[in-house]
Structure 1
Amino acid sequence: MSKVSVTGSKRVIDEVIEATYDHHSLHVTDYDDRYEGFERGTSLSGAEDVNERLVTVRSLESILDVEGDEIDAAGALDDEDLEARLADVREDVNELNEERDELRAAVRNRQEEIDRMGPFAELGIDLDLLRGYDSLEVVVGEAKPDAVEAALADAETIAAFETFVGGGVVAIVARPAEGAGPGALQDALVGVDVAFLEVPDAEASPSEYVSELERERAELRSELESVDARLAAVKEEAAGFLLRAEEQLTIEAEKKQAPLSFATTENAFVAEGWIPTATFGEFEATIADAVDDHAEVEELERASFTPDGDHHTEPVHGGDSGSDAGREAATDGGHAKRDEPPVVQDNAGAAGPFELLVQGFGRPKYSEFDPTLLVFLTFPLMFGFMIGDLGYGLLYAGIGAFMYRAYDGAMREMGAVAIWAGAFTMLFGIYYGVDVFGYHAYPLLGIESWPISKGLSPGATEWALAWLVASVLFGILHLNVGYVLGFVSQYQQHDLKHAVYEGASWLLLLNGIWVWIFSQHVPGPKPDFIFDSVSVLTLGVVSFAGFPAWMGIAGLVAAVLGVVLIAIGEPAELPEVLAPVVNAVSYARIMAVLLAKGGMALAANLLAFGAYIDQGGEGSFSFIFTPSNLADVQERAAAGEVELVFAGMTTSPDFTAIGIVGGLLVAIVGHIVVLLLGITAAGIQGIRLEYVEFFGKFYQGGGDEYTPFGYDRKYTAEE
């Protein structure tokens, strides 16, 4: 990428903007008020009018619910035709929209009146009988009749009363006692739980009044449907025009607002930005063709980046072609102004969708290694390991395939990520014993036993400890990759000294400590399972008693050397010297999620179908499924051959049909919960390990996306 400046007279600013826009390659950087004599530019003449029309077009699209797929091919749109037709469409749409709003309000009013009349219709008393008395007081409300009558019977201000009840509504007609003031009836009901209702001003009976309101509501809805149909007709006719108008006005607005990013004086302007170095000559020629020698294009800096992470930015000292204004604007105190070039992430193929996960942390800077490929290689692996079930994997992949086909943008990319996560979940499900929703299906394939387990059964606890060790070992490998990338980054951006102090020091500390932990030096405090797990994981092929004591001592020496380098180069980081141990142990959450989700699936199946443990309670879980199988298991349990854990809701004769239905519901709901928690637990924990433990060793993010000045036309054709 090359940092360039375009310097010219203000009288050719329109032509320069037009040429730059059409070339569609310059990523314009905002002027930051740092240069004496320059100020931020202002929008070109007519910008306010263009923005007003653009707002109008987008408002009309919102009213008509234009979605963007109502046009087949791009077409030209004349400015005069745009203005004239926009006025006609706006008039038609606004008129119909106002009429629609009025009708909707009228329908709501009728519905509210119907709802208000409902209690009076239940009461069954003509409305004119509930008002208009001189010596009587009448109230209507929703209350319990007994409470109302008790309160009125005890009230000294009420001489006589009568109640009429319909549904939950009570109408009270009362004659106040002599000397009682106005409102005596309501005062007597103070303390009673009653919601007073206002008597509608109508002469008809409540049922007749409701019928009339419903007839009016039906007529209004019919009129509303007619207006909606007319608006649909307007949409069909005007949708294509509005899409073209929005695109054309958006282009005009971007051009007229472009000087807001320029540095300007009364007579000149300077625009700066980044452009692919290969297109610089073509861009320079485009500006020259547009304005001859009234503007100068100068390459200020050149940044290079190679896939291995090599990156540097250096000023470009050209001959005589650069303008003084451009040089002045591009320098500060004699030093070339430098900013990070914009970034284009271009991870083709299967890794591409995983850019979404990287961007969730932050887009890589131009000087940083893009970790998308590494996330693609590790995130699905961790997710699949944590869930490890063929059934769940199929569902995850199916949901991902639906998202990939049905949506665009981020949702489509998330669908692709889900497909990969589901695929690895299926692979690990097969690896763990052809697990299908927590059930070991390998016997159905004619296989008598399976050597690998998740570690949930009493006879397989060594596998749980083995997965703990495997998770930590994966963490050590993952962290090593991060520290190596950090070393390379420091070396390329600074020098070998920085790389040693800030990268190699942590590598020595990480590997030195863990070599000592896995060694026979001071073996007392070290649990045996960290050595025995190697034999478990390799199915007995490899035995590991720990590294020799001398290797442990060498590891300690390396760790101490790492601490010394940190103290010399970055003393402020000395409190973090235990981070390599803590970070690696943090990967134990992979094993924890594996056991938690496997245990939840096991529990759902156990409750629904029942289970027993063979070898007298020292072996593996097996599900029962049928009442006949349950009887056999009970006999074997009595003989001490197995241990019955739970009879099962679907298998016990005591539950019959109710047990079968209830058991199936427990199984279905339980597995849905595991499926959803798998997304949140495995997904979030995997992302956390990527962001916190891994990215923290080499990656900062915060880069700018390459957004060249210009527009990819979709609905309009250039003149």
Structure 2
Amino acid sequence: MLRPERMSRVSVAGAKRVMTDVIETVHDLDVLHITEYDGSFEGFDPGDPTDGADDASDKLVTVRALESTLGVEPEDAGPTRLVTDEALESDLEEIRQEVNELDDRRDALRNDIRDVAEDIERMEFFVDLGIDLDLLAGYDSLSVAVGNGDPDSVEAALESADAFDATEVFGEGTTLAAFAYPADDEALEDALVGTDFAAVEVPDGDGDPETYLSELRHRRQQLNSRLSTVENEFEELKLDVGGFLLAAEEKLTVEVQKREAPLTFATTDNAFVAEGWIPTEDVDRFESELRSAVGDHLEIDELERADYDDEGHPTEREPVEGAGGQEADESAEEVAADGGQTVGPLTMSEGHPPVVQDNPGGIKPFESLVEVINRPKYSELDPTLALFLSFPLFFGFMIGDLGYGVLYFIAGYGIWSRLDNPTLKSLGGVGMWAGGFTAVFGVLYGEIFGLHQLGEIVWNGHPPIHKGLQPHYVAFAQAWLVASLVAGVLHLIVGRVIDFANNLHHGLWEAFAESGSWIMLTAGLWLWVFSTQASGPKPDFMFSAFGSGEAAAIPLGFTGFSPTVGTVGLVLAVVGFALAIYAEGGIALVESITQAFGHVVSYTRLAAVLLAKAGMALVVNLLVFGATLHNGEFHFIFFMEGAPNPDYVVFAGLVNGSEPVMIALGWIAGIVVLVAGHLVVLVLGVSSAGLQAVRLEYVEFFGKFYEGGGTAYRPFGHEREYTAAD
């Protein structure tokens, strides 16, 4: 879990006459992450695609274009099928022609509909104007301007124009037609330049615009009907050929992969070398399958294993015995190209191994949260397990409600079970874990949707812990502040321990100086803070919240570390500070404050969000049910037997009216407020508790040790969904 799956670098070399068989076998195995040739071999060049690569690539582009045009989706696949080369030649061309014909008809209809819509919009203007079309054009003695504008300004402009003996403006509102005598179109246009007027072209035609408008609308109906027919033909064609296109795409994808594979090989006229990474556990099977397919006409070498030593430290380059040695050289003599050139176990590149995160199913969904930052490097510890152990715990602690937890779990399960997208599916799994922890804390707090009756049922009115919102339990609020600080110290120290493990390849002393210094500084500083040495400025609740007696929220007997422990803590902090300066230089002067102190204090947001969400749920329930406050405890009236003592009523609540009508209206309003309010709290739980927990993980925790930047494992092969193997 903490380390990625072990990988081995392998080399396959042989004569070109067996290259096609090798490609076929390796592709079927689907385990080799091929390393692209970097040009480092003298006398070797990148290979060329095999015959037919361009044709297959062109067909693949055609198939994908057809799928896009038809809107083919994976659910259109139907049963798996065998797609022959003959079908790709004949059926694909037939489908292409049919799709193109339908697409051309659809485009033409859409263009016609767009043109008619513009004509309708223009004709609606002339309907509003109320003047027959033949009266707006064709005059020898009059100039006419039609458009939208301010009638007063247009009239004033025309009356002041010296070019005209008479003018008249007709219209409805801003829809205008201006006539000027004698005819001078240029003068009319000049007169309207400074006015609020936008001209509209007069369409050809005569008679009533209403008639034209009716004809245009009828024309649009006809075109829409034809378009609907074409769309139905598209849908029918998609149902007929969608499965074939998906299968053809898969077949062509596989074919292109295979034919273009030599581009990543190192080749001569007669030989080739392919190199890549493979899970170490698959090396024997890989070699066995290749030997069965090709025989002894190639050289297969496990060049190295990216392994870890007995103490778990990464050793990225562990040569495998015999790789490149005498035994390999002797066997290489048997692998000669057609021209007699010997190809041995050469090393193509110094690239890092791809990363296959090795987490069990329950933890695997949290890999998606890690990859938001980046995939871990092969030499790093995988933080997925640490994230799994802390994120749901933080989230559940902050929300802590059985009702909300069950809803979060159901929502997460719905996402996980119904969606196919791997990232969204993983987030559903994370939601299930977060909801589960929320429900567990809800039982411990004795709360369901902010109501305390769960504590009455499960704990006989005395749940083991409280959120600390009620005055009687304020000591719990103080205890959670202290617990948040302790959680911060422990969480950050774990991060530094992981960083120490990651840095061990630099040497034990360097790793201790780089990481152990911060462990000493953080632990020492907070040992002193929680000691009674110089206790004057330290809050009293730090030593009472987990102490004993009535002031303690959880009586653990902790009243602070002794002054001696505080002194030891200060010594540790000073030594750690000195080592940090030694390892990192002057920047440690600033980071010692922000990281050892500030980042720990940042964890108090756990207690702050806990109180904020509890307060929101309390307000919703208080508005609906009302409550009494007695001896520092809230009791919701709706659940009390008999009438509450009016001296203790905080708020009567919407559902506790005195008249039948008010009771009915109160219940209606109460149900609305109850459902809407708790939905808001539920959503804000994700946006506040979820984001705050993620922030602590990414900024405070990951920032101590995590770099990321690993290469994803992408084996050469294809998982078939729509086609049977050829």
TM over 0.5: yes
Q: Where does residue 239 of structure 2 map in the other structure?
A: 236
Q: Given the two structures, how large is their TM-score scaled by the length of structure 2? A: 0.85
Secondary structure at the residue paired with 1:69? helix
Which residue among 89, 98, 105 is the counterpart of 2:104?
A: 98
Q: Which residue of 2 aligns with 1:360?
A: 372
Answer yes or no: is 1:577 the counterpart of 2:592.
Answer: yes
* Alignment correspondent of 2:176: 171
After the TM superposition, which of the residue ranges 580-589 and 495-504 deviates more from structure 2?
A: 495-504
In the TM superposition, what is the alpha-carbon distance from 1:113 to its structure 2 partner? 2.3
Consecutive unaligned residues in structure 1, runs of 5 or more: 332-336
Residue 678 in structure 1 maps to residue 682 in structure 2: no
Contact 1:5 1:326 in 2 (8 A): no
CA contact (8 A) 1:650 1:661 kept: no
Which of 701, 704, 707 is 1:697 aligned to? 704
Deviation of residue 434 (structure 1)? 1.2
> Is 1:205 aligned to residue 183 of structure 2?
no
State whether residues 77 and 243 of structure 2, in contact with CA within 8 Å, keep that contact through their aligned partners in structure 1: yes
Counterpart-to-counterpart distance in 2, 1:91 and 1:613: 78
Q: Which residue of 2 aligns with 1:591?
A: 607
Equivalent residue of 1:163, what SS? strand
Aligned 8 A contact 2:143 2:184 in 1: no
Does residue 488 of structure 2 align to residue 475 of structure 1?
A: yes
Deviation at 1:407, TM superposition (A): 0.8
- Aligned-pair distance for 1:524? 1.8
Classify the secondary structure of the residue corresponding to 2:74: coil
Aligned AA for 1:216? R
**CA distance, structure 1, for counterparts of residue 366 and residue 207 of structure 2:** 69
Are the structure 2 counterparts of residues 432 and 269 from structure 1 closer, same or farther at C-alpha, using a change threshold of 3 Å? same
> 1:537 and 1:340 mapped to 2: Cα distance?
57
Residue number in structure 2 paired with 1:377: 389
1:223 aligns with: 226
- Tell me the alpha carbon deviations over residues 231-275 of structure 1, each in whole angstroms, 9 at most, x when there is no partner: 233222222221221111101111122122222344432211112
Per mean C-alpha deviation after superposition, the further-off stretch among 597-606 and 148-157 is 148-157
1:615-626 aligned at under 5 Å gives the runs 619=632
Distance 1:553 1:387 in 2: 38
Counterpart contact for 1:139–1:186, Cα < 8 Å? no
Give 2:596's aligned amino acid.
Answer: P
Deviations 1:168-211 (A, max 9, x none): 552233335x798735377347343x554333333342322222
Amino acid at match of 2:704: K
Q: In structure 1, how many angstroms separate the alpha carbons of the residues matched to 2:221 and 2:377?
A: 62
Q: Deviations over 1:208-239 (max 9, x none)?
A: 22221222222222222222232233222222
Counterpart of 1:513 in structure 2 is 525
- CA deviation profile, 1:81-110 (whole Å, cap 9, x unmatched): 321221111111111111122112222222
CA distance in 2, matches of 1:41, 1:574: 52
In structure 2, C-alpha distance between the alignment counterparts of 1:205 and 1:623, rounded to whole Å: 74
| 2:188 equivalent to 1:184 | yes
Q: Answer with 254-263 or 422-431: which moved more.
A: 422-431
Which of the residues 8, 14, 19 maps onto 1:8? 14
> How big is each residue's C-alpha offset from its partner over 1:343-388, in whole Å with a ceiling of 9 and x where there is no partner?
2224233222111111222222333322222222211221222233
Residue 716 (structure 1) aligned with residue 723 (structure 2): yes
Give the structure 2 partner of residue 334 of structure 1: none
* Partner secondary structure for residue 715 of structure 1: coil
Q: Please give the root-mean-square deviation of Cα atoms over the aligned residues, in Å.
A: 3.7
> Aligned with 2:568: secondary structure?
helix
Query: What's the CA shift for 1:592?
Result: 2.6
Whole-Å Cα distance in 2 between the matches of residues 131 and 625 of structure 1? 80
Q: Which deviates further from its counterpart, 650-659 or 156-165?
A: 650-659
The structure-2 alpha-carbon separation of the partners of 1:384 and 1:443, relative to structure 1 and needing over 3 Å to count, comes to closer
Q: Distance in 1 between matches of 2:33 and 2:198?
A: 66
Return the TM-score normalized by structure 1.
Answer: 0.86
On the 8 A contact 2:143/2:185 being kept in 1, the answer is no
Q: Distance in 1 between matches of 2:79 and 2:625?
A: 62
Q: Is the counterpart of residue 261 in structure 1 residue 264 in structure 2?
A: yes
CA 1:433 to 1:116, structure 2 compared with 1: closer, same or farther past 3 Å? farther
**Secondary structure of the residue that 2:179 maps to in structure 1?**
strand
* 2:694 match: 687
Measure, in 1, the Cα distance between the counterparts of 2:282 and 2:464: 60
Kindly indicate whether residue 424 of structure 2 is the aligned counterpart of residue 411 of structure 1: yes
1:614 equivalent to 2:632? Answer: no
Q: What displacement does 1:391 show? A: 4.1
1:554 corresponds in structure 2 to 568
| Alignment-derived partner of residue 544 in structure 1 | 558
Partner of 2:337 in structure 1? none
Distance 1:429 1:381 in 2: 12
Pair 1:119–1:388, CA change in 2 (3 A):
farther
Whether contact under 8 Å (1:148, 1:189) holds in the other structure is no
Structure-2 change in CA distance of 1:199 and 1:354 (3 Å)? same
Distance 1:714 1:537 in 2: 65
Distance 1:581 1:59 in 2: 58
Alignment partner of 1:59 is 2:65: yes
Which one-letter code corresponds to 1:119 in the other structure? F
**Is 1:119 the counterpart of 2:119 in the alignment?**
no
Q: What is the rounded CA distance, in whole Å, between the counterparts of 2:377 and 2:541 in structure 1? A: 43
Q: Is the partner of 1:269 in helix, strand or coil?
A: strand
For residues 580 and 655 of structure 2, the distance between their equivalents in structure 1, rounded to whole angstroms, comes to 61
Change (3 A) 1:33 1:130: same
Identity, % of aligned positions: 45
Alignment match, 2:319: 315
Residue identity opposite 2:179 in structure 1: A
Q: By how many angstroms is 1:470 displaced?
A: 1.6
Counterparts in 2 of 1:528 and 1:152: CA distance versus 1, 3 Å: farther
Q: Any unmatched runs of 5+ in structure 2?
A: 1-6, 334-341
CA shift for structure 1 position 602: 4.5
Q: Deviations over 1:575-608 (max 9, x none)?
A: 32331222211212222323333444455566x5
Q: Which amino acid aligns with 1:228?
A: E
Candidates 343, 350, 355, aligned match of 2:355: 343
CA distance in 2, matches of 1:562, 1:219: 83
Q: Residues 585 and 156 of structure 1: is their aligned pair in 2 closer, same or farther, counting only changes over 3 Å?
A: farther
AA paired with 1:239? G
Aligned length: 696
Could you tell me how far apart the structure 2 residues matched to 1:79 and 1:648 are?
Answer: 74
